[in-house]
Structure 1
């Protein structure tokens, strides 16, 4: 079998998948922290608060892509199969989203509604 048909090969799509899942997790994490800490939005927030929000938003995506790259190298060397790579990556993604309380699309919609309500109650 070729590497392409074996599950490896072009990693661009896989990287985009892990970035997307990471940004979903980052949205959940940063939104929950902003609402819980009542961080002011816009010009009222400090530089530290802005850096915290950006780090929480981008951090999970960076983490998932890093894990993916590490496991991908293992699979390319033959330490385990590509099926095990995908199983491990989906297990990590499900664990991250579950720990953040994102068990379904409804949870994501509820979080977006909470963000909208928080944004509307804050003074401009």
Structure 2
């Protein structure tokens, strides 16, 4: 049991990265849409919206990853199902955000 709990955070790491990418992309798109080029240019309410756009997807992806890893550790789903779900959710999210490739992330 101790060996199983020791690597408990490793299953969530991909979800953290995916959440940061999605949140950063969403925040950058919002900043471009409202015309903010530098972080200190906008009023406080717009800055709060930008922060929530960054942290919202991060929190949601982390929560989803935590729930799925708990289910896999309890053996209610297989690890293959865990990874298939991870890539399926990431693909759907990035498609909805308009990210078709790695170049879209860096060209924004």
TM-score (norm 2): 0.83
Residues 43 and 78 from structure 1, CA distance in 2 versus in 1: closer, same or farther, beyond 3 angstroms? closer
Q: Does 1:10 align with 2:7?
A: yes
The gaps in structure 2 that reach 5 residues or longer are none
Residues 40 and 46 from structure 1, CA distance in 2 versus in 1: closer, same or farther, beyond 3 angstroms? farther
* Equivalent residue runs for 1:1-124 within 5 Å: 10-39=7-36, 41-111=38-108
- 1:51 Cα deviation from its structure 2 partner: 0.9
Higher Rg of the two aligned structures: 1
What root-mean-square deviation, in Å, do the aligned CA atoms of Structure 1 and Structure 2 show?
Answer: 2.1
1:25-45 Cα shifts (integer Å, max 9, x gaps): 111101111111224644442
- 1:9 Cα deviation from its structure 2 partner: 6.2
Distance between the aligned counterparts of 2:43 and 2:77, measured in 1?
A: 47
Residues 60 and 42 from structure 1, CA distance in 2 versus in 1: closer, same or farther, beyond 3 angstroms? closer
What count of residue pairs does the alignment treat as equivalent? Answer: 106
